[in-house]
Amino acid sequence: MLNKAFEKFPSVEGLIFHSDQGWQYQHAYFRNVLQEHGIIQSMSRKGNCYDNCIMETFFGRLKNEMYYGYEKDYSSFEEFSQAVEEYIYYYYNKRIQSKTKWIPPVQYRIASMCSAWFINMCPEFWVHIKMN
C-alpha cells in the first residue's frame, strides 16, 4: 500500500505521519520506507493517550459526522477525499463548539489573538479591568 501511495505522490518530503503504536507502524520496514521518503514519523508514546488525543478527537468527530452511515454514498476515493476536505473546512470555519465559546475555531483563534494583542498593547487598561 505504501508503494502505491508513493507512486501517486512521489514528493512527500517533510510530511508528518502520525499514528498510534500499532505493530505495523513500529515495524523496521515501515519506518525505513517513511525515512527514505523524508517523512517524519510522529507516534504517540505507549500508554499516553494525551499525545494524540487532539487528533483522535478530531478523527472521531469526522467519522461520526460525515462517514458512519454514509460509507456507501462515496462512489470513489476522489469523492470521499473531496468530502473530507469539505468537512475539514466546515469543522474549522463553521462548526460551533462549547470549548470555543460557541463560535467556530478559526474565529475563536482570531479573537484570542486580538485579545492577546490588546492586553500587550494596553497593559494599563488590562490592569484597571482586572482590579474592578
- Answering whether pTM is above 0.85, one says no
Average pLDDT over every residue of 29-53: 80
Q: What is the pLDDT of residue 29?
A: 92
Average pLDDT over every residue of 71-81: 92
Is pLDDT of 16 > 60? yes
**How deeply is 32 buried, as exposed, middle or buried, from its count of CB atoms within 10 A (0-12, 13-18, 19+)?**
exposed
DSSP states along 69-124: TTGGG--SHHHHHHHHHHHHHHHHHT--BGGGTTB-HHHHHHHHHHHHHHHHH-HH
Cα distance between residue 117 and residue 112, in whole Å: 9
Q: Residue 21 corresponds to which amino acid?
A: Q
Is pLDDT of 124 > 80? no
Which range among 21-25, 39-43, 95-99, 123-127 shows the weakest confidence by mean pLDDT?
123-127
Q: Which residue has the higher pLDDT, 36 or 5?
A: 36
